[in-house]
């Protein structure tokens, strides 16, 4: 079972695999835009398991799988035995006997790892408390579409040291760019967790107490909700702690003149980002959301078929 290729965190793939995936996603997107069929996963089934809410992840995986000629099964905690304490290992054994691929959105990373360890088919992380690799894959694809290679560039992360921040760090380590991290005190990234206990590439990230300093010279400014799913009980204290971590016009002005703004969405205007930024000319959030589908089509195809010619 260990020979199965899963996508549980960004560091599961090499830089060379990302080069292939990003190129393949561009081809897949081009065909989609030209109404050209791309049926590489006919008769394949994707199981999607959601233990948390979703709009983009569900639509992008579901529409993407249909566009590849396959089909999907949608499960949630509430409408499956997952919500009635069936062990995750047993769920993995059963679901992976009837489907070809599984996408899971859940809480702890250890849960998806346990599922993968007992799965006969590849498992994709559709977001855990710790990581959100599909989103960062889409973000990097979006950056490249707008500005070319991300190697050597600076990405400013303003906000929570959460699943998105952890995944940006893994990507920076692998793909040769730098993350400027600015998080409120008490909400820092856990580097040990982000890098799996390994020593990251020197210079792949730098920590700033002041979010404005972190944005200086950045090629991309990005943020996320102050309160991620699963942390709702901390909402009030987080609102106070994060008050100065709102991406505004001053922060964008401190960045490069052609800096992009990204947010994985859903967004809260007036909290982590001002409306004039997310709805302004430097924002590429709608491309970012759409690109989830294109990169995930490339990812699903790769996990099931390996590298494809042309």
From the candidates 100, 264, 282, 296, give the one annotated as an active-site residue.
264
Structure tokens that stand for 67 in this block: 């566009």
Whether 264 is a known active-site residue: answer: yes
What's the min distance (Å) between Cβ of 96 and ligand CP? 23
User: Pick from 129, 135, 282, 283: which binds ligand CP (CB under 6 A)?
Assistant: 135
**164 contact, one of ligand NVA, ligand CP, none, CB 5-8 Å limit per kind:** ligand NVA
Instruction: Tell the smallest beta-carbon distance from residue 88 to ligand NVA (Å).
Output: 19
Q: Does 199 appear as a known binding residue?
A: no
CA atoms of 102 and 275, how far apart (whole Å): 36
Partner whose binding site includes residue 71, from ligand CP, ligand NVA, none (CB under 5 to 8 Å by kind): none
- Give long-range contacts, CB 8 A cutoff, 24+ apart: 247-250: 247/158, 247/211, 247/215, 247/221, 247/223, 247/272, 247/273, 247/274, 247/277, 248/273, 248/274, 248/276, 248/277, 249/274, 249/276, 249/277, 249/280, 250/212
* CA distance to 135, 167, 272, per residue, from 277 (Å): 20, 23, 11
Stretch of residues binding ligand CP (CB under 6 A), selected from 50-58, 79-87, 153-161, 295-303: 50-58
58 is in an annotated binding site: no
What residues from 156 to 185 belong to the interface with ligand NVA (CB under 6 A)?
Answer: 162-164
- DSSP strands (E only) in 40-177: 45-50, 71-76, 101-105, 123-125, 154-158
Residue of 9, 67, 109, 135 with catalytic role? 135
Query: Is 224 annotated to bind ligand?
Result: yes
- 279 a known binding residue? no
Rule CB under 6 A: say whether 193 interacts with ligand NVA.
no
CA distance 285 to 266: 10
The span from the CA of 92 to the CA of 102, in Å, is: 9
Rg (alpha carbons) of the chain, rounded to whole number: 19
In the residue annotation, 287 being an active-site residue is answered as: no
Of ligand CP, ligand NVA, none, which one does residue 162 interact with (CB within 5 to 8 Å by kind)?
ligand NVA
Q: Which is nearer to ligand NVA, 110 or 250 (CB)?
A: 110
3-state secondary structure at position 130: coil
- Indicate which residues carry an active-site annotation: 105, 132, 135, 224, 264, 292
Q: Which residues bind ligand CP (CB under 6 A)?
A: 54-57, 127, 135, 264-265
Q: Which residues bind ligand NVA (CB under 6 A)?
A: 127, 162-164, 224-225, 228-229, 264
């Amino acid at each position: 079972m260990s020979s199965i290729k899963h996508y549980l965190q960004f560091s599961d793939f090499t830089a060379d695999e990302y080069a292939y995936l990003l190129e393949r996603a561009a081809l897949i997107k081009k065909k989609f835009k030209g109404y050209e069929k791309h049926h590489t996963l006919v008769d394949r089934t994707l199981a999607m398991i959601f233990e948390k809410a979703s709009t983009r992840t569900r639509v992008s995986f579901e529409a993407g799988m249909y566009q590849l000629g396959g089909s999907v099964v949608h499960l949630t905690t509430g409408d499956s035995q997952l919500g009635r304490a069936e062990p995750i290992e047993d769920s993995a054994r059963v679901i992976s006997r009837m489907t070809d691929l599984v996408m899971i959105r859940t809480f702890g990373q250890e849960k998806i790892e346990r599922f993968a360890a007992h799965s006969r088919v590849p498992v994709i992380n559709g977001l855990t408390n710790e990581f959100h690799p599909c989103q960062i894959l889409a973000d990097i694809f979006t950056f490249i579409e707008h500005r070319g290679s991300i190697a050597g560039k600076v990405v400013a992360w303003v906000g929570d040291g959460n699943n998105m921040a952890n995944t940006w760090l893994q990507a920076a380590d692998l793909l040769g760019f730098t993350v400027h991290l600015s998080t409120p005190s008490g909400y820092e990234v856990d580097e040990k967790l982000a890098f799996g206990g390994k020593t990251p590439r020197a210079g792949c990230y730098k920590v700033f107490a002041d979010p404005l300093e972190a944005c200086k010279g950045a090629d991309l400014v990005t943020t996320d909700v102050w309160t991620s799913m699963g942390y709702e009980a901390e909402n009030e204290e987080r609102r106070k702690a994060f008050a100065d971590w709102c991406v505004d016009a001053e922060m964008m002005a401190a960045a490069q003149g052609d800096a992009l703004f990204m947010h994985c969405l859903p967004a809260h205007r007036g909290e982590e980002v001002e409306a004039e930024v997310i709805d302004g000319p430097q924002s590429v959030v709608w491309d970012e959301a759409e690109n989830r589908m294109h990169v995930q089509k490339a990812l699903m195809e790769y996990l099931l078929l390996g590298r494809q010619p042309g």
